[in-house]
Amino acid sequence: MRLIAAIVVLTLVAIGAGALAGLHLFAAAERVADAKKTPTPPPVASSYAGSARLRKLSPIVTNLAAPANNWARVEASMVTDSMSDEDAGILAAHISEDIVVYLRSASVAQFEGSRGLQHLRDDLSERANVRSSGKVRELIIETLVIQ
């Protein structure tokens, strides 16, 4: 008699555990289905016209003015209006030269903090804009490593 009662109790416990596990899995499946139903946000609109193009500059490595043993490596891109690849290549070379000249006259203290990096970005963008006669809309600094 005790054996039958133990089997009945274990069966009831198994049924209860199975029911709880099933309810939990059903709720998780509903959450996943609801997440798939939510619409994806629209893509962020660009502030540039359709003719704008991002062109990557070759990495620039140069020494800084002070202290003399510090080196800087800059990877940047420029946003330009539509222009031929040949003209863009020539312009990119001139802008890279301007960046080298600017960095060779700068010290590490000028780049400290977020404000220093913002000034660097603004100065280089202005130089690129002047060099290109307004064809470069923005110069984007992707990486800056000072060693």
Query: pLDDT for 62-100, tens place per residue?
Result: 999 888 788 999 999 999 888 888 999 999 999 999 999
Say yes or no: 77 and 114 in one domain. yes
Q: Give 105's DSSP letter.
A: T
Instruction: Give the domain extent around 9.
Output: 1-40
| pLDDT, position 67 | 83
Rounded Cα–Cα distance for residues 85 and 92 (Å): 10
Say yes or no: 57 and 36 in one domain. no
Q: Which of 45, 44, 48 is nearest to 137 (CA)?
A: 48
Which has the minimum average pLDDT: 48-62, 69-83, 132-146? 48-62
Is residue 61 pLDDT above 90, yes or no?
Answer: yes
Say yes or no: 67 and 135 in one domain. yes
Say yes or no: 79 and 131 in one domain. yes
56: left (phi over 0), alpha (psi -120 to 50) or beta: beta
Say yes or no: 33 and 58 in one domain. no
| pLDDT, position 38 | 72
| pLDDT, position 52 | 82
142 domain-assigned? yes
Say yes or no: 135 and 82 in one domain. yes
21 domain-assigned? yes
Rounded Cα–Cα distance for residues 112 and 115 (Å): 7
Question: Are the CB atoms for 144 and 62 separated by under 8 Å?
Answer: no
Number of domains the chain contains? 2
Rounded Cα–Cα distance for residues 45 and 73 (Å): 31
Is residue 137 pLDDT above 90, yes or no?
Answer: no
Q: Which of 74, 67, 71, 90 is nearest to 123 (CA)?
A: 74
Say yes or no: 24 and 63 in one domain. no
69 domain-assigned? yes
20 domain-assigned? yes
46 domain-assigned? no
The label of the residue with tokens 């140069």 reads 62
Q: What percent of the chain has pLDDT over 90?
A: 58
